[in-house]
Structure 1
Amino acid sequence: MPKKNHYDVLVIGAGPGGEGTAMAAAKAGKKVGVIENRAGVGGACVHKGTIPSKSLRHVVKQVIRHKINPLFRATGDAHSFSYPKILAEASRVIPRYVDLHTDFYTRNRATIHIGEASFVDANTLSVKFSDGAKERLTADTIVIATGSRPYRPADIDFNHARIYDSDTILDMKHTPRSLIIYGAGVIGCEYASIFSGLGIKVDLINSREHLLTFLDDEICDALSYHLRDMGVTVRHGEEYDSVETSDRGVTLKLKSGKRIHGDALLWSNGRTGNTDSLALEKIGLKADGRGQLKVNDLYQTDIEHIYAVGDVIGWPSLASASYDQGRSAASNILGQESRYVSDAPTGIYTLPEISSIGKTENELTAARIPYEVGRAFFKNTARAQISGEKVGVLKILFNVDTLEILGIHCFGAEASEIIHIGQAIMSQKGEANTLAYFVNTTFNYPTMAEAYRTAALDGLNRVQKV
């Protein structure tokens, strides 16, 4: 085997997890190779997930503001926008992102192989190129960062022109008048708000009793209210029985007997790890029923020198966490101290968006921890009044006795940005992680960040003895 085909670290997948591993290992002087089955780096995050969907959301948000702005209404310029036109605008960011991150690999001398990877043995991978040619690569350490794809039940025809998943919805060539979304997880809720923002009638089918049950109850209630306020019909506790299609639309039959009609169906019910083409059986590894791999706290699989990071290992399935998992895996490979990523904040890009970190009220109640709540409503902040983003709330959960911050939950504009202020304070020790920081710190005015001071003062008012 030629030496040029041997690597210290060989990464399968160039998404956030793969990039985190590759960059950290390359900067430490390791010879790094990366195998990617798409034409460009970035993984599903860039090509089919986070970047395109959040870019789409951004454009839709601009359209919504355009439509409600009195200036445009007065001039007659509040015209309608087609989905393909909006999608084209949102997609412009993808090639720029790919070029930027390709340069990261080039500058750090990490070699990219474009092809499909499969194991030959525990130290050897075969790469199949688009022309059918194959090449073998060997490595001391291998990192599986192949990501995930939408779960597709076998009894649904995803080749039909009116049935989509969260990947193919980004290729839809028409603007449906009505859309059924089956699955009310993070992706389903995000797309429900995006499409309803375009004036499309949306039926959101949830198999559970509440939306996003991992969130704080108050935030769940706010999301439910605002989805309905946007015109989304949310149906809880429903399971699909079958799907009927025609050239004119889709009928979703539910086990409850309901029949939901729509111009199109977006299936958004879970994801599957991309492991089926890796030939894991040749090395004795086995994925679970959703294609995910089990790892330990060092991100090692059952084979010591083979690691796995990102969506392929399941929860939390966030691009931010995947990147940090990749860096942690690289640290472990290098024999350095690392952390197991368990403290990533949630970021849900509905309209309005949601972000949270720490404990929820239900968790604190179950643990019998005495806590109180401080709230700041966005409608009462000057910045929100100026920007027109008056929907939302920031809530701080804190220990009644010590004032230690236990959880922060935000619903509203820029929630995923605002949360990091609270995250930084929660990571401090002792008195630095209390309401005192927010009360005694001067915030720029007007800003959304000053909601922290308002919420902290509200919380103190609740516990001070009169």
Structure 2
Amino acid sequence: MAKYDVDVLIIGSGPAGESAAMASAKAGKRVAVVEGRSTVGGNCAHKGTIPSKSLRHAVKQIIQFKTGNLFRETGETWRLTYPRVLAAANAVIPKQVELHTDFYVRNRVKLYSGFASFIDEHTVSIALLDGARDEVITADKIIIATGSRPYRPADIDFEHSRIYDSDTILEMAHSPRHIILYGAGVIGCEYASIFSGLGVKVDLINNRDRLLSFLDDEISDALSYHLRDNGVRVRHSETYEKIEANERGVTLYLESGKRITADALLWCNGRSGNTDKLNLQAIGLEPDHRGNLTVNEQYQTAVENVYAVGDVVGWPSLASASFDQGRALAAAILGKPYQEVAGVPTGIYTLPEISSIGKTERELTEAKVPYEVGRCLFKNTARGQISGEDVGMLKLLFHVDTGQLLGVHCFGAEAAEIVHIGQAIMSQPGEGNNINFFLNTTFNYPTMAEAYRLAALDGTNRTSRS
């Protein structure tokens, strides 16, 4: 008779939890998953990545249609409401749920819909959503993959109908004429693009001195320019003092003395790990002030048989990284070789989008690495001119002496797709990682991928003249 009900119990069915569950089940382990919603997919499928990127895609289609020559010839003028666009975007969620539910069925993973809390390091109580008596389940290994939620300061009334966070904004039932976005991180910049694309007046409040300072400076500058060009008012180095809302609008008071009034406010300044309902004190675990858990290189917490992956461990808080972390953790538990998740590309779905991997110019300069830059402006590519996606560029950073590709930075249409070509070359061992690959490879014409050859030519032409 088995000592435990299951070998692996996973709390959370988002990208990290799902990948850990599938990898463990395929290895022959008895696996169960607890999900706080009635359907699988976690915050990624229901409130985060999927709905927000689907919304962004719908807005991009609207922009393309409105700015196209064919549309202008018709002379039509109309404006789609935010709820209508949101409803169209949300149509993808049931498809995602159906797809991911099938994974659990095929791999015979037991699903519990409810909220888990620890009794001891091997035992969890599950408060089932259907109201039935709580289930108690024991497991040899327990994985916390509960994800994160928007951080909510106590002095802000998020119950007010004009104040939203990045979850509740996906339920907004009206179209604001003017919206304030407090927080200019990735989420804030993405929603600034979305709302400005819908014709909404946007104030983007940034508590730092530049947008997304982790990006290459040139890319950050390009984002700032295009947001402003699209009507977004970006306010740097500002911190809120208080927020007041009534039936007529919402007013943001800044410590600088400024007051900004709008129809709605979207708070998108940080996230918190979903650990407050897990009764972690029962096993002696204490999350940090943002609810995140500390883990070692094997994603193991201070409790030997309890692990954590995904957004609940903090950086990089990306769905792509969470998938890989879940698989790596399953391999570690099974005693198999695994590769630590590293070299994760940045994907930012602004309009235009941004993606990068590797070093920035600032990092290389500070490290005193001799490098050169190769650029290709999308307006100079045939595919960009044909598709009308002529905003942006591909930027390659490579070592002057060895030709080693050190960084890839892309701003513009399909940047999150284009970056993977550079990522593949950067991952090659030894001399396989070389800027000359792009010079010696035939690319389909016309394509956006051809930008690699043009950027490589631009960069190597500079070095040949030196």
C-alpha distance after superposition, 1:382-416 (max 9, x if no partner): 00000000000100000011010000000000000
Q: SS at 1:464's partner residue? A: helix
Give the Cα–Cα distance (whole angstroms) in 1 for the partners of residues 455 and 3 of structure 2.
59
Task: Name the CA shift for 1:158/1:375 in 2 (closer, same or farther; >3 Å).
Answer: same
Aligned to 2:309: 309
Aligned to 1:348: 348
Is the Cα contact below 8 Å between 1:67 and 1:79 reproduced in 2? no
Is the Cα contact below 8 Å between 2:51 and 2:93 reproduced in 1? yes
Give the Cα–Cα distance (whole angstroms) in 1 for the partners of residues 310 and 77 of structure 2.
42
- Structure 2 unpaired stretches of 5+: none
Aligned to 2:13: 14
Aligned to 1:223: 223
C-alpha distance after superposition, 1:357-379 (max 9, x if no partner): 00011111111111110000000
Is the Cα contact below 8 Å between 1:373 and 1:396 reproduced in 2? yes
1:257-336 matches, within 5 Å, as: 257-336=257-336
Is 1:410 aligned to residue 413 of structure 2? Answer: no
Is the Cα contact below 8 Å between 1:180 and 1:266 reproduced in 2? yes
Q: SS at 2:330's partner residue? A: helix
TM-score normalised to structure 1 length: 0.98
Is the Cα contact below 8 Å between 1:5 and 1:136 reproduced in 2? no
Q: SS at 2:465's partner residue? A: coil
Pairwise CA distance, 1:309: 0.4
Q: SS at 1:88's partner residue? A: helix
1:62-461 matches, within 5 Å, as: 62-130=61-129, 131=131, 133-461=133-461
Pairwise CA distance, 1:71: 1.2
Matched AA of 1:293: L
Pairwise CA distance, 1:417: 0.2
Is the Cα contact below 8 Å between 1:117 and 1:126 reproduced in 2? yes
Pairwise CA distance, 1:73: 2.3
Aligned to 1:59: 58
Give the Cα–Cα distance (whole angstroms) in 2 for the partners of residues 368 and 392 of structure 1.
28
Give the Cα–Cα distance (whole angstroms) in 1 for the partners of residues 2 and 134 of structure 2.
17
Task: Name the CA shift for 1:4/1:80 in 2 (closer, same or farther; >3 Å).
Answer: farther
Matched AA of 2:184: A
Is 1:41 aligned to residue 40 of structure 2? Answer: yes
Give the Cα–Cα distance (whole angstroms) in 1 for the partners of residues 240 and 248 of structure 2.
20
Is the Cα contact below 8 Å between 2:156 and 2:243 reproduced in 1? yes
Give the Cα–Cα distance (whole angstroms) in 2 for the partners of residues 119 and 441 of structure 1.
56
C-alpha distance after superposition, 1:2-31 (max 9, x if no partner): 969711111000000001100100111111
Give the Cα–Cα distance (whole angstroms) in 2 for the partners of residues 287 and 57 of structure 1.
33
Matched AA of 2:202: V
Q: SS at 1:86's partner residue? A: helix
Matched AA of 2:45: V
Is the Cα contact below 8 Å between 1:125 and 1:136 reproduced in 2? yes
Give the Cα–Cα distance (whole angstroms) in 2 for the partners of residues 133 and 157 of structure 1.
34
Give the Cα–Cα distance (whole angstroms) in 2 for the partners of residues 197 and 186 of structure 1.
17
| Root-mean-square deviation over aligned CA pairs | 1.1
Pairwise CA distance, 1:342: 1.9
Q: SS at 2:112's partner residue? A: strand
Percent identity between matched residues is 67
- Structure 1 unpaired stretches of 5+: none
Give the Cα–Cα distance (whole angstroms) in 2 for the partners of residues 347 and 366 of structure 1.
24
Task: Name the CA shift for 1:5/1:176 in 2 (closer, same or farther; >3 Å).
Answer: farther
Pairwise CA distance, 1:72: 1.9
Matched AA of 2:121: A
Is 1:50 aligned to residue 43 of structure 2? Answer: no
C-alpha distance after superposition, 1:410-464 (max 9, x if no partner): 0000000000000000000122111110000000000000000000011101111
Pairwise CA distance, 1:133: 2.2
Give the Cα–Cα distance (whole angstroms) in 1 for the partners of residues 93 and 329 of structure 2.
27
Give the Cα–Cα distance (whole angstroms) in 2 for the partners of residues 343 and 145 of structure 1.
21
TM-score normalised to structure 2 length: 0.98
Is the Cα contact below 8 Å between 1:72 and 1:78 reproduced in 2? no
Give the Cα–Cα distance (whole angstroms) in 2 for the partners of residues 73 and 451 of structure 1.
30
Pairwise CA distance, 1:132: 5.5
